[in-house]
Structure 1
Amino acid sequence: VLQVLSASFVAFAHGSNDVANAVGPLWLGLGGVGRMTPRWLLALGGIGIVAGIVTLGYRVVATVGWKITELTPTRGFCAEFSAACVILTASSLGIPVSTTHVLVGAVIGVGLARGMQAVDRRVSLRILASWLLTLPGAAALSMGYLTLFKVVIGL
Structure 2
Amino acid sequence: MESDIILVIVVATALGFDFTNGFHDTANVVATGISTRALPPKLAVTLAAILNFIGAFLSLKVAATVAKDIVDPSTITMTIVFAGLIGAIAWNLITWYFGLPSSSSHALVGGLVGASFVAHGFSSISGEGLLGKVMVPAVIAPVLAFLVAGVSIIVIYRIVGRLRPGPVNRGFRVGQWASSGLLAVSHGTNDAQKTMGIITLALVAHGSLDADNFEVPTWVIFASASAIALGTYSGGWRIIKTMGSRIIKMDPAQGFAAQGAGASAILAASHAGFPLSTTHTISGAVMGAGAAKRLSAVRWGVAGNMMIAWLLTIPCAAAIGGIVYGFTSIFGDGAAGPLIVSVVSVGLLLAVYLRRLQRGSVLTAAEA
Could you tell me how far 1:56 is from its partner in structure 2? Answer: 4.7
Report the counterpart of residue 301 of structure 2 in structure 1: 122
Report the counterpart of residue 318 of structure 2 in structure 1: 139
Report the counterpart of residue 64 of structure 1 in structure 2: 243
Pair member with larger Rg = 2
In structure 2, C-alpha distance between the alignment counterparts of 1:60 and 1:42, rounded to whole Å: 27
Q: What residue identity is the alignment partner of 1:29? A: A
1:25-40 correspondence to structure 2 within 5 Å: 25-31=198-204, 32=209, 33=211, 34-40=213-219
Could you tell me how far 1:74 is from its partner in structure 2? Answer: 1.2
1:39-78 correspondence to structure 2 within 5 Å: 39-78=218-257
- Pick aligned residue for 2:272 from 93, 96, 103: 93
Runs of 4+ in 1 over 6 A off after TM superposition: none
Aligned length: 155
Could you tell me how far 1:108 is from its partner in structure 2? Answer: 0.6
Q: What residue identity is the alignment partner of 2:297? A: A
In structure 2, C-alpha distance between the alignment counterparts of 1:119 and 1:79, rounded to whole Å: 13
Q: What residue identity is the alignment partner of 2:326? A: T
Report the counterpart of residue 284 of structure 2 in structure 1: 105
Q: Give the gaps of 5 or more residues in structure 1.
A: none
Could you tell me how far 1:27 is from its partner in structure 2? Answer: 1.1
In structure 1, C-alpha distance between the alignment counterparts of 2:301 and 2:197, rounded to whole Å: 35
RMSD: 1.6
Report the counterpart of residue 144 of structure 2 in structure 1: none
In structure 2, C-alpha distance between the alignment counterparts of 1:10 and 1:134, rounded to whole Å: 23
TM-score normalised to structure 2 length: 0.40
- Name the stretch that deviates more: 145-154 or 20-29: 145-154
- Pick aligned residue for 1:23 from 193, 196, 202: 196
Q: What's the CA shift string for 1:85-105, capped at 9, x where partnerless?
A: 111111111111111110001
Report the secondary structure of 1:152's partner residue.
Answer: coil
In structure 2, C-alpha distance between the alignment counterparts of 1:62 and 1:44, rounded to whole Å: 29
Report the counterpart of residue 12 of structure 1 in structure 2: 185
Could you tell me how far 1:2 is from its partner in structure 2? Answer: 1.3
In structure 2, C-alpha distance between the alignment counterparts of 1:101 and 1:38, rounded to whole Å: 29
TM-score normalised to structure 1 length: 0.91
Q: What's the CA shift string for 1:46-92, capped at 9, x where partnerless?
A: 23223333335112211111111011221111111101111111111
Q: What residue identity is the alignment partner of 1:144? A: I
In structure 2, C-alpha distance between the alignment counterparts of 1:116 and 1:73, rounded to whole Å: 18
